[in-house]
Amino acid sequence: MPIRSANGNYRALSLSSFFVLLVFALGSCQNNKEANESADQTAQDTAATFQNPLDVEFGDPYILDDGSGTYYMYGTGGGAVDGFSVYSSKDLVNWNYENQVYHGNTADSWNESAFWAPECYFFDGKYYLFYSANWKHNPTNEGENFHIGVAVADDPKGPFEDLQNKPLFEPGYPIIDANVFRDDDGKFYLYYSRACYKHPVESEVADWAKAEGLFDEIEESWVYGVELSPDFKSVIGEPVLLLRPPVKMDDANAEWESRSVTSGEVNRRWTEGSFTFKHQGTYYMMYSANFYAGENYAVGYSTATAPLGPYTKADNNPVLQKNVAEGGEVTGTGHNSVLFLEDQGKMYSVYHGRTQSTGEERVVFIDEMTIDANGKLEVAGPTTSPQPMIITDSK
């Protein structure tokens, strides 16, 4: 076989040289093929997984699934000024900022500040945004004057306008963290948290803190429930106390729910950020405890046989908490909501937390949640390692 030499003349290629070149060429092709296959596999593996936290700086995240194939996330902060913003996603991992969907603190609004914890629901063709904010009407000049508002829109991206230019109702104390549940009989229920403000409570934990010289008194927030009118403009009947921090030190939930106090962080114990749903005839109420801006913020749950209780706290609480003691980097896990993907038979806990890299900024996590045959609820988080993509066929 002739080949061309450097001086332009042709010379014969020996048979042995030819085979050497052939082997080299085949080996090079094989190496290239393996490299390409490895790159393709790496791309597939990357595409098939995601890692927490998501690229959304929200506190109190809530994801709406209205059946359109697009998911919408609402939360505290996220770039909103005196109101709330929304992000959208097809796969629950990659989120796009849309716009600010609600604007408060206007000349005509009933509210003026502290726009917190929005949750958006799709009922009968309309989108309803339940949220917390400070009421302008404050004749006694209270330091915390939180109330619950309801706004409505024709589109999940807004604009949302208040149903009425006043809070949903006046319970006589500041309230936050509205959560709505519609039962099988069509009745609606509102769950909320009474703020700690001016609510000192006697307990063995309070006695201990005073004896230790930490705090003279301990304020608490409690979760209440009440039936909600179908037009979302009022409540029906009187609110019922459903959850509160443990009174006794030997209560199974006293240790984890009191960490903000026992660590000397602050003189408050919280029961807030509740989320209620029904599973196989049992009502589950998830809730958060401890200081929302601290590392001990964590999630527990309770169960009942009726929407307004009585609720019994689980003995495997907390089901979601910081993981730094196990070598992780996540703290401040809390104020979760639950996303149900019925076509997959799965449910996910959506919550905020902090990492070493995000610092004090709250960011969104989403981890799978399960309930076993005995009714035991568990959250497989917080995770920061690669997890299987939640939705793989989004378009």
Structure token digits, residue 247:
């009174």
Per-residue pLDDT reduced to its tens digit, 275-327: 999 999 999 999 999 999 999 999 999 999 999 999 999 999 999 999 999 99
Residues 248 and 151 in one domain: yes
Average pLDDT of the residues in 41-61: 80
**Per-residue pLDDT tens digits for 154-212:** 999 999 999 999 999 999 999 999 999 999 999 999 999 999 999 999 999 999 999 99
SS3 string, 91-156, reads CCCCCEEEEEEEECCCCCCCEEEEEEEEEEEEECCEEEEEEEEEECCCCCCCCCCEEEEEEEECCC
Please give the C-alpha separations between residue 194 and each of 78, 225, 371, in angstroms, as whole numbers: 25, 11, 28
pLDDT band at 354 (very low <50, low <70, confident <90, very high): very high
3 state DSSP class of 204? helix
> What's the helix, strand, coil split of the chain in %, to 5?
15, 40, 45
pLDDT for 21 equals: 36
Whether 395 is in a domain gets the answer no
With cut-offs at 50, 70 and 90, classify the pLDDT of residue 393.
confident
Q: Which amino acid is at 82?
A: D
Same domain, 38 and 79: no
Q: In this structure, is residue 201 part of a structural domain? A: yes
Please say if the pLDDT value at position 394 is more than 90: no
The residue among 11, 31, 47 that closes a domain is 47
Residue reference for tokens 């405890």:
289
Task: Find out whether 87 and 52 touch, Cβ atoms under 8 Å.
Answer: no
Domain check: are 327 and 284 in the same one?
A: yes
Q: Which pLDDT value is given to residue 17?
A: 43
Q: How far apart are the first and last CA of the chain?
A: 54
- Same-domain check for residues 86 and 114: yes
Classify residue 174: in a domain, yes or no.
Answer: yes
More confident residue, 30 or 94: 94
Question: How far apart are alpha carbons 196 and 260 in whole angstroms?
Answer: 13
The C-alpha torsion from 353 through 355 and 358 to 363, rounded to 10°, is -20
On whether residue 394 sits in a domain, the answer given is no
Are residue 318 and residue 292 in the same domain, yes or no?
yes
- What is the reported pLDDT for 392? 81
Residue 345's SS3 state is coil
In sign, the C-alpha dihedral spanning 209, 296, 61, 100 is: positive
d(CA 208, CA 74): 39
Active site residue 272: yes
User: Is 155 a catalytic site residue?
Assistant: no
- Tell me if 142 is assigned to some domain: yes
Q: What is the mean pLDDT of residues 348-359?
A: 96
Mean pLDDT of the 81-103 span: 98
Rounded mean pLDDT of 23-44?
A: 46
% pLDDT > 90, the chain: 86
| 5 plus 145 within the same structural domain | no
Least confident window among 5-14, 23-32, 55-64, 386-395: 5-14
pLDDT in tens, 107-136: 999 999 999 999 999 999 999 999 999 999
Q: What would the mean pLDDT of 346-361 be, rounded to a whole number? A: 96
Catalytic residue, chosen from 162, 177, 227, 272, is 272
> Per-residue pLDDT averaged across 51-80, rounded?
97
Residue 41 has pLDDT above 70, yes or no: no
- What is the CATH classification number for the domain harbouring 91? 2.115.10.20
Q: How many domains does the chain have?
A: 2
Catalytic residue among 60, 119, 257, 295: 60
Q: Which residue has the higher pLDDT, 3 or 47?
A: 47
pLDDT of residue 154: 98
pLDDT of residue 53: 98
Q: Which residues of 142-173 are buried (b: 16+ CB within 10 A; e: fewer)?
A: eeebbbbbbbebeebbbebebbeebbbbebeb
Q: Nearest 10 degrees: CA dihedral of 362, 76, 55, 92? A: 130
Kindly state whether residues 137 and 42 are assigned to the same domain. Answer: no
Q: What is the pLDDT of residue 222?
A: 98
Report if pTM > 0.75: yes
Structural domain including 128 reads 55-388
Q: Does 140 lie in the same domain as 69?
A: yes
- Rounded to whole angstroms, how far apart are CA atoms 111 and 369? 36
Concatenated DSSP letters of 219-281: EE-EEEEEEE-TTSS-EEEEEEEEE---SSTTSTTHHHHTHHHHTTS-SEE--EEEEEEEETT
- Per-residue tokens: 290: 């401890």
Provide the pLDDT for residue 14. 47
